[in-house]
Amino acid sequence: PPGPLRRGKKRPNPKAKHDIFCKISNWSFIYITTSLILLLSIDPAHGQRVVQPQNGDNANFLRSDSTMRAGADTSKSDIDAPITYEAHHKDFDVLNNKLTLIGDAIVTYKSTTIEAGRIEVDWTTRTLTAEAIAETLAVKGDSLGTAAEADSVEMHIVGQPVLIEGTDRIVSDRLEYNFDTAKGRMVRGRTDFEGGKYSGEQIKRVAPNVLNVSRGTYTSCDLEANPHFHFWARKMKIIVKERVIAKPIVLYLGKIPLAVLPFGMFPTQSGRRSGLVIPRYGQSALEGRYLRDFGYYWAISDYMDAKLTADFYERAGWLFKGNFNYALQYNFRGNVSGSLTRKNFSDTGVKERRWDLRINHSQTIDKTSSLNASGTFISDNSFYRDFSFNPQQRLSRTLISQATYSKRWNKARANISVNVSENKDLDSGNIIRQLPQVTFYLGERQLFAPKKDERKRGLSSSRGGSSGGTANPRWYENIYFSYSSRAQSQFRRTLVTTDSTFDEETRSFASHDLGLRFNNPGKLFGWLGLSQSVSIDEDWFDRKRVYEDFAESSAAEQTRKGFYARHLFRYSASANTKLYGTFAPNIGPVKALRHVVTPSLSFSYQPDFSDPKWGYYQTVQTFDADSNIVEEQRDIFSFQGGSGTPRGEIASLSFSVNNLFQMKTLSGDEEKKIDLFSMNLSSGYNFAADEKKLSGLRTT
């Protein structure tokens, strides 16, 4: 309590800031006043409080807005932020200046939150103590059971203290915290950080970001009570988000000490940092106990890093794994990874020397060209099934290696790509290898483009300039063409199931696709728009198939090498026009209604290339399932790297009528055109069909 007041002058007392009320002679007045203020300030919903410093009187006071302000001078106090607390039950000891929170107690100060079953705050010493509480639970017994199964009472420990700062969360059996110094102590604290579990007999916070741990442990094992392995240190200093310093360090497998180091320092910064990779412990029925992924990560620079790890198996040996990554933004990126196993099984005497190598590289050579390459190589077909822990990699039974170079010419609207690849089936051993595949594409352009000076004269004439040029293009300037080609050399190795041998052959294939499109200049008869196009496809082969009649079950086939060409074409034409009907009611803002009718016709034709006159199909005689002789047509260019030869005539006409209803409104000077609704009708007619030539009518 403060000292006596002298008449006419106040003398400040340094102990006043630690008291809740100034001592006066009438103690009963203090009790009554305190009780009334506490009752008035209780929040009936949850009883939440906010403790907040304030300048002014030396006596603290409680306000009816559930806010408690420490009346001490904040210039001398370290509590410079609100302290919020809540609990199921609160006990405020005015004489001893203590606050006790029981039942799901929560105290928040700045970015620190403390949760516990019981929290006691001593405002005199500015300290907080949190601990768990015992909770009894009545268990109803079986009325027909024995005496041991009668009603009983069980006791549980609940509400273990939890310290939360940002995303960090530490659980302990007892917690002490000082608001002035921001220091604390935890008994048997434990927390999780980046996949690892940390614990300690005592954890002391000696600075805002420094923790001293006594008898600390670390493990990445999922078992919390009895982990398969853990590291133990008698003393440990943790500098948050920087490093951990410990001495001595003992590695335990179960409860058996395996290795010891006099001291160690481990970085804990986030992001890329060089350092040791903590292993994982386990046990295998075939290979015994093991340590996996023990090694070192090396952050070489901002553009590359590497990691080398090893798996040690007690009964077998070693599996070494490496990974190297590199990247330079806007230029290239890639990685090289692989593994090597050296295992000697003492029980069976088997020695394993197996490996794999994976390469990925992508590079931007310049603004118009790039290179991408990837490859996977293994020592045997069952490597990933035996060693990989990636389910997708274990189930994949195909190895793909490829490299692609692409180049484009923006002004010419052309591009080219060169690709080499290999696909290997790990189960059958079949291989398909492209050596190489070249694809070229040239975008659509005018076949007879006018010269630059002619374009300028035509543009000038269209704007009312010189009469020496023509405003409308000539008819042949409306012919457009596009071109694409593909060439490939393919090697195939196929398993022959009858005698388990491989059949190998190399095939070559090339194709040229030329597209021609003609737009009729202007309108026919002044109202009909017409467009026609022809697609011509020429394919080159280095072999064809020849079939023989009357095989045992199907036509026997032979391959005849040489140079063979196939020519395919397709013609299409389309015509359309527009009809307009307008009506001007001039009703309010509605000034006009319009009905737009767009009829169109499209025709496509492609001959039947299975007709004998084209020579692309061979008619053979063979046996059906009932041993009857039947005739079949076989494509002599099937499975040669391109698509099969189309069969069946195409002569189809499609027609449609699109109706669009619009409205124009005028509000002041603002004019709007609104699409009200549309109704479209479409159907078709197939001249080549034997029946049902007319298609159904579709309405939308």
> What would the mean pLDDT of 232-236 be, rounded to a whole number?
90
Say if residue 338 is exposed, middle or buried (CB neighbours under 10 Å; 0-12, 13-18, 19+).
Answer: middle
Confidence of residue 320 (pLDDT cuts 50, 70, 90): very high
- Residues 6 or more apart whose CB falls under 8 angstroms from that of 151 comprise 138, 139, 140, 141
pLDDT exceeds cutoff 90 at 30: no
Cα(141)–Cα(144) distance, integer angstroms: 9
- What's residue 642's pLDDT? 62
Q: How far is Cα 521 from Cα 511, in angstroms, rounded to an integer?
A: 32
For residues 54 and 520, which has the higher predicted lDDT (pLDDT)? 520
Whether the per-residue pLDDT at 79 is higher than 50: the answer is yes
Predicted confidence band of residue 697 (pLDDT cuts 50, 70, 90): very high
pLDDT of 685 > 50? The answer is yes
Largest distance between two CA atoms of the chain: 134
Q: Is the pLDDT of residue 620 over 80?
A: yes
Tell whether the model's pLDDT for residue 60 goes beyond 50.
Answer: no
Between residues 284 and 533, the one the model is more confident about: 533
Q: What is the mean pLDDT of residues 181-187?
A: 83
pLDDT of 279 > 90? The answer is no
Within 13 Å of residue 19, how many CA atoms lie on the same side as its CB? 15
Instruction: Name the 3-class secondary structure at 391.
Output: helix
Q: Quick check: 59 pLDDT over 50? A: no
* Dihedral sign of CA atoms 389, 393, 399, 401 in order: negative
Query: 449: pLDDT confidence band, cut at 50, 70 and 90?
Result: confident
Q: Is the dihedral of CA 197, 198, 199, 203 positive or negative?
A: negative
- Of 203, 220, 221, nearest in space to 212 by CA: 203
For the chain, the average pLDDT equals 79
Parallel, antiparallel, or unpaired for β 275-277 and 264-267?
A: unpaired
Q: How do strand 670-686 and strand 698-699 relate by DSSP bridges?
A: antiparallel
Contact 623, 553 (CB under 8 A): yes
Q: What is the DSSP string of 625-687?
A: TTS-EEEEEEETTTTSSSPPPP-S-EEEEEEEEEEEEEEEEEETTEEEEEEEEEEEEEEEEET
Mean pLDDT of 113-135: 90
DSSP state, 392?
H
Q: Which residue has the tokens 């040489």?
A: 562
Tell which phi-psi region holds residue 200, choosing left (phi > 0), alpha (psi between -120 and 50) or beta: beta
Q: What is the pLDDT of residues 250-260, one digit of tens each?
A: 888 788 888 88
Residue 438 near residue 418, CB atoms below 8 Å: yes
* Cα gap 15→76, rounded to integer Å: 12
Q: How far apart are CA 76 and CA 432, in angstroms?
A: 82
Q: How many CA atoms lie within 13 A of 184 on its CB side?
A: 23
Compute the C-alpha angle 469/471/472, nearest 5°.
120
- In this prediction, residue 1 carries a pLDDT of 34
3-state helix, strand, coil in the chain (%, to 5): 5, 60, 35
Report for 274-278, 543-547, 686-690: range of highest mean pLDDT: 686-690
Q: What is the pLDDT of residues 632-674, one digit of tens each?
A: 888 888 765 567 888 889 999 999 999 999 999 988 888 999 9
Note if the pTM is more than 0.85. Answer: no
Judged against a pLDDT cut of 50, whether residue 35 lies above it is answered with no
> Which of the two residues, 555 and 17, has the higher pLDDT score?
555
Residue 21: strand, helix, or coil: coil
Q: Which of the 8 DSSP states describes residue 614?
A: T
The region of weakest confidence among 252-261, 330-339, 450-459, 528-537 is 450-459
Which of these, 159, 79, 164, 50, lies nearest to 114 by C-alpha position? 164
pLDDT in tens, 402-416: 999 999 999 889 999
Of 440, 535, 488, the C-alpha closest to 640 is 488
Task: Tell me the mean pLDDT in the region 369-386.
Answer: 89
Separation of alpha carbons 645 and 616, rounded Å: 7
Tell me if residue 376 falls in helix, strand or coil.
Answer: strand
Higher pLDDT, 510 or 6: 510
Lowest mean pLDDT among 114-123, 279-288, 550-559, 595-604: 550-559
